[in-house]
Structure 1
Amino acid sequence: MGILITILVVVWVIYMIVKKHYPQAVLLAAGSILLFATYCIGSNPILAAKESSGSAVLDIFHTIKVLLSSRVAGLGLTIMSIAGFARYMEYIGASKALFAVVASPLKHIKSPYILLVLSFYMSQFLVLFIPSHAGLALLLMVTVYPILIRAGVSKLSALGVIGCAQYMDVGPGSGNAILAANMCKIDPAVYFVQYQLPIFATTTLILGIVHYFVQKWWDKKEGFTGYDESVGLIKEDESRPPLIYAILPIIPMIFILGFSPIFKSPIKMDVVTAMFISTFISMVFEYARTKDFRVTLQSLKYLYEGMGNSFATVVSLIVAGEVFAAGLMKIGAVDVMINGAQNLGVGAHALIILFCLVISGCAFLMGSGNAAFFSFAALTPKIAASLKIDIVTLLLPMQIMTSFGRVVSPITAAIVAIASVAEVSPVQVVKRTAIPMAVAAFVNIAFVLVK
């Protein structure tokens, strides 16, 4: 009975999310239904005795409270502080200054496809400091896109590279990476340098070459012959603060990596502290620039605005995903899935690849890497324990693969946004991102197999 209920609920969740219903509400409702079914069947207690409210029925809702309390105080605050700092950088224009410094050499490159490849590599540097797929893609649309078009790059080739701007959620500023590090009980800086960086660097190097040949092949296939003056250029955004502001988005990374176990620092600095220190340093820069103390103080509201928006979009999604995961575990569905996988007689590597394919498929259907990853991340400790492998061995390739599914989805916010700006169909854009992401998936699977 429990498995039948689980199948019906999971099918309902997939249907509702594909139909673009609010994912937090869908996952929360699904988790609550599964927990209620657990109570009716009487298979497992919903909460341990020390956490229980004393009523099995009330524990369904008490589970939400327990998860919300633990997440907001720890992981949630970390993610909110990152989002708040990113919003402040956007307000003061520091991201534009960083881009102006990094992208200035691009204007001197004449070869269209070499320029395209270098633009891709440049975007992968920026993603470490601008952890938003849609935000970075739109920034590239008003800065790099006009340069590429004038150099003779086709509209769709430019969009193919820009659509892959955040093809991997990487670095201590990524919500997915922070959650993965938290689940693995690893310092975010260590997770980035020791686990993500080797895969990210290798895949990025390969994808630059892949973009060169893939975009050139598509252009030839679609009859592109050169610069088309009829293509409407997007107006370049010339408004930016002084170039010295380019160091501000980098400061948190310096703190997080510098005061981390990687460099055996006796001082410990967590992500939240790094973000707040960096914000106050940025406020000093703002006061020096504006000479207006009142405006500088008022600018802090953008930090809290970003934190609030992050709670509403990201932290709430994590908690909803964990309630759904709790329902799946309590009703016994995870145990059945693990036992079934083990009975197939395949090794841990094959199961890891299977989970990667499933989660990337979910990201494709949802158009969101966060929604897919947050829904499944809470299940990984139990699955990893059953497979007798480290959590990071399972979670790292899943976290990476989620991003690939998002980049080839025509309903992803970033893809829809850049397609709209360039006045093309999102389907045309994902045609240009599909082959590079397939190659990226093979590289990710290769890393799984060699471990």
Structure 2
Amino acid sequence: MGILITALVVSWVIYMIIKKHYPQAVLLTAGIVLLLATYFSGTSSILEAKQSSGSAFLDIFHTIKVLLSSRVAGLGLTIMSIAGFARYMEYIGASKSLFAIVASPLKRVKSPYILLIFSFYVSQFLVLFIPSHAGLALLLMVTLYPILIRAGVSKLSALGVIGCAQYMDVGPGSGNAILAANICKLDPAVFFVDYQLPIFFTTTLILGVVHYFVQKWWDEKEGINGYTVSADGIKEDEERPPLIYAILPIVPMAFILGFSPIFKSKIQMDVVTAMFLSTFISMAFEYVRTKNFGATLQSLKYLYEGMGNSFATVVSLIVAGEVFAAGLTKIGAVDAMIAGTQNLGLGIHVLIIIFCIVIAACAFLMGSGNAAFFSFAALAPKIAASLKIDVVTLLLPMQIMTSFGRVMSPITAAIVAIAGVAGVSPVQVVKRTAIPMVVAALINIAFIFINHS
């Protein structure tokens, strides 16, 4: 009966999210239904005795409080501080100054398809400091897109590269990466440098070349030879602060990596401290530039605005996903899934690949890497323990594969946004991102075999 209820609930969750219903509410409702089924079946206690409210029924809802309080105090605060700093960088325009510096060599490249390769590499450098797929893609539409179009790159080829701007969630600024590091009980800087960076660096180098051939092939197939636009067709954004502001988005990464176990620093600086310190350094820059102390103080509200928005979108989604995961665990669905996969007699590599494909498919259907990853990440430790592998061995490729599914989805916010700006269909954009993401998935699978050989 538990398996039947689980199948119905999971099917309902997938259907509701595909239909664009509010994912937090869908996952939370599904989790409560599964916990209710557990309560009435009497097969398992909802909470441990030390966490219980004293009432088995009330523990269904007390679970939300337990998860919310632990997440907001730890992981939630980390993610909110990152979002707040990103919002402040957006307000003062520091990201535009950073792009103005890193993109200046692009204007000297004459070959449209060689320009695409370098543009892709520039976008991957920026993703380390602008941890938002939609935010970075829209920034590139304002800054990089005009450069590409004027150089003779076709509209869809440009969108193919920009759509892949955050093809992998990496770095201590990524919510998915922070959650993965937290579950793996690793320092975010260590998780990034020791685990993510080798895959990210290798895949990025290869994908730059892949974009060259894929975009050229599509242009030839569709009879596109580039576009000529008038000067007033697309305007570059000249409203930016001084170029010195380019260092500000990089400051938190310098603090996080510099004061970390990687460099054997005696001083340890966590992500939250780095974000707040970097914000106040940025405020000092703003005061020197504007000479307006009151306006500089007022600007801090954008940090808290970003933090609040992150709680409403990301932290709430993590907690809803964990309630859903708790329901799946308590009703016995996870144990049944583990037993079923073990009975199939498949090797560890094959099982990890299956889990990666499933979560990538969920990201594709949901149009969101966060929704997919946050829904299933909490299950990883138990699955990894049953397979007798380190949790990072399972969770790292799953976290990476989630991003690929999102970039291939025509309902992803970033894809919809850049398609709207360019006046094309999102489906036309994902045609240009699909092949590079398949190649990236194959590279990720190769790393699974290398890391677990």
How far apart, in 2, do the equivalents of 1:13 and 1:29 lie? 9
Q: Does 1:405 align with 2:405?
A: yes
The aligned amino acid for 1:441 is A
Tell me the CA shift for residue 90 of structure 1.
Answer: 0.4
Aligned residue number for residue 91 of structure 1: 91
1:126-145 equivalent positions in 2, closer than 5 A: 126-145=126-145
Q: Is the 8 A contact 1:410 1:426 kept in 2?
A: yes
Q: 1:157 is aligned with what amino acid? A: S
Alignment partners' CA distance in 2, 1:230 and 1:43: 69
Q: Which residue of 1 aligns with 2:110?
A: 110
Question: What one-letter code is carried by the residue in structure 1 that aligns with 2:156?
Answer: L
Number of equivalences:
451
Shift of the alpha carbon at 1:448? 0.2
Percentage of matched positions with identical amino acids: 84
Report the CA distance between 1:231 and its aligned residue.
11
Q: Distance in 2 between matches of 1:187 and 1:45?
A: 32
* Deviation (angstroms), 1:108: 1.1
User: The residue matched to 1:57 in structure 2 has which SS?
Assistant: coil
The reply on whether 1:158 has 2:158 as its aligned counterpart is: yes
Residues 91-240 of structure 1 correspond to what in structure 2 (within 5 A)? 91-229=91-229, 233-240=233-240
Q: Answer yes or no: is the 8 Å Cα contact 1:146–1:233 preserved in 2.
A: no
Partners of 2:273 and 2:229 lie apart in 1 by 50
Deviations 1:368-418 (A, max 9, x none): 000000000000000000000000000000000000000000000000000
Q: Quote the Cα distance in structure 2 between the aligned partners of 1:234 and 1:126.
A: 22
Deviation at 1:59, TM superposition (A): 0.2
Secondary structure at the aligned position of 1:143 is classed as: helix
The Cα of 1:230 is off from its aligned counterpart by 7.6
Supply the AA of the counterpart residue of 1:431.
Answer: K
Residues 246-257 of structure 1 correspond to what in structure 2 (within 5 A)? 246-257=246-257
1:9 aligned to 2:12?
A: no
Query: Which residue identity lines up with residue 91 of structure 1 in the other structure?
Result: Y
* 1:381-400 superposed matches below 5 A: 381-400=381-400
Partner of 1:337 in structure 2?
Answer: 337
How far apart in 2 are the matches of 1:335 and 1:407? Answer: 31
| Counterparts of 1:123 and 1:352, CA distance in 2 | 29
Q: CA deviation at 1:347?
A: 1.2
Residue 450 of structure 1: how far off its partner (Å)? 1.6
Which secondary structure does the structure 1 equivalent of 2:321 belong to? helix
Q: Give the equivalent residue in structure 1 for 2:48.
A: 48
Cα 1:387/1:240, change in 2 over 3 Å: same
SS in 1 for 2:49: coil
Q: CA RMSD in A?
A: 0.9
Distance 1:347 1:260 in 2: 36
Q: Quick check: 2:30–2:324 contact (8 Å CA) kept in 1?
A: yes
Deviation string 1:309-348 (CA, Å, 9 cap, x unpaired) is 0000000000000000000000000000000000000111
CA distance in 2, matches of 1:255, 1:172: 11
* Superposition pairs of residues 369-380 of structure 1, within 5 angstroms: 369-380=369-380
AA of the residue aligned to 1:445: I
Q: Does 1:80 align with 2:80?
A: yes
CA distance 1:200–1:72, change in 2 (3 Å): same
CA contact (8 A) 1:141 1:234 kept: no
Q: Return the TM-score normalized by structure 1.
A: 0.99
Distance 2:231 2:141 in 1: 14
**8 Å contact 2:113–2:153 — kept in the other structure?**
yes
Instruction: Answer yes or no: is the 8 Å Cα contact 1:98–1:247 preserved in 2.
Output: yes
1:235 is displaced (CA, Å) by 2.0
Structure 2 unaligned blocks of 5 or more: none
Task: Describe the shift of the 1:390–1:233 C-alpha distance in structure 2 as closer, same or farther (beyond 3 A).
Answer: farther
**Equivalent position of 2:315 in the other structure:** 315
Report the Cα distance in structure 2 between the residues aligned to 1:363 and 1:231, rounded to whole angstroms. 39
Q: Which amino acid is the alignment partner of residue 221 of structure 1?
A: K
SS in 1 for 2:131: coil
Are the equivalent residues in 1 in contact too, given 2:149–2:229 (CA < 8 A)?
no
Give how far 1:224 is off: 1.2
CA contact (8 A) 1:180 1:396 kept: yes
Q: Is the 8 A contact 1:84 1:303 kept in 2?
A: yes
The one-letter amino acid paired with 2:300 is: L
Aligned residue in 2 for 1:32 = 32
3-state SS of the aligned residue for 1:110? coil
Partners of 1:446 and 1:232 lie apart in 2 by 47
Structure 2: distance between partners of 1:252 and 1:88: 13
Please say if 1:289 is aligned against 2:289.
yes
CA–CA separation in structure 2 for the residues paired with 1:84 and 1:282: 13
Residue 284 of structure 1: CA displacement?
A: 0.5
CA separation of 1:254/1:268 partners in 2, compared to 1, >3 Å: closer, same or farther? same
1:26 Cα deviation (Å)?
0.1
Please give the per-residue CA displacement for 1:350-379, whole angstroms capped at 9, x wherever unaligned.
Answer: 110000000000000000000000000000
2:103 partner letter: A
Cα drift, residue 5 of structure 1: 0.4
1:434 alignment partner in structure 2 = 434
Provide Cα deviations, 1:172-227, integer angstroms capped at 9, x if missing partner: 00000000000000000000000000000000000000000000000000001243
Report the 3-state secondary structure (helix = DSSP H, G, I; strand = E; otherwise coil) of the residue aligned with 1:44: coil
Query: 1:84 corresponds to which letter in structure 2?
Result: G
Amino acid of the residue matched to residue 256 of structure 2? I
Structure 2 counterpart of 1:241: 241
1:88–1:303 contact (8 Å) kept in structure 2: yes
Q: 1:94 to 1:227 in 2, by over 3 A?
A: same
Deviation of the 1:232 alpha carbon: 8.0
Q: Distance in 2 between matches of 1:19 and 1:266?
A: 51
Please state how far the C-alpha of 1:234 moved relative to its aligned partner. 2.8
**Amino acid aligned to 1:313:** T
